[in-house]
Amino acid sequence: MLAVRLRLGAVLSNGRVAGHVDQPVHLVPIPEGPVVSSPLRAYCGLMIEPRTAEVVDAVSGAPCVKCLLAAPASQWSPEGLVY
Ligand SMILES: [Zn+2]
């Protein structure tokens, strides 16, 4: 599982520019393959386009509550992701 958040200033699929309100840290399953060229789907359902997000340390930033509730509990703890 990866922790990602949208980059400030990234243009979203709806044409809006990502701001601080778009900064919660989402959890996504680790994509298969060496290159990610298709959108990532966060556990909360958010579709994240390539190059609009950055991988972050799970303990930094505000977590997406919907992702925390939907992600497999065996893969994260309050201290961070379980690898
Ligand atoms: Zn989320």
CA 13, chain centre distance (Å): 15
Distance from the CA of 48 to the center of ligand 1, in angstroms? 10
> Does residue 60 have a pLDDT over 70?
yes
Side chain identity at residue 10, one-letter code = A
pLDDT on residue 81: 65
Secondary structure class of 76 (helix, strand, coil): strand
What average pLDDT does the structure give for the chain?
A: 84
CB under 8 Å to 69, separation ≥6 — which residues? none
pTM surpassing 0.95?
no
Distance from the CA of 34 to the center of ligand 1, in angstroms? 23
> Does residue 33 have a pLDDT over 90?
no
pLDDT on residue 77: 66
Distance CA 54, CA 25 (A): 10
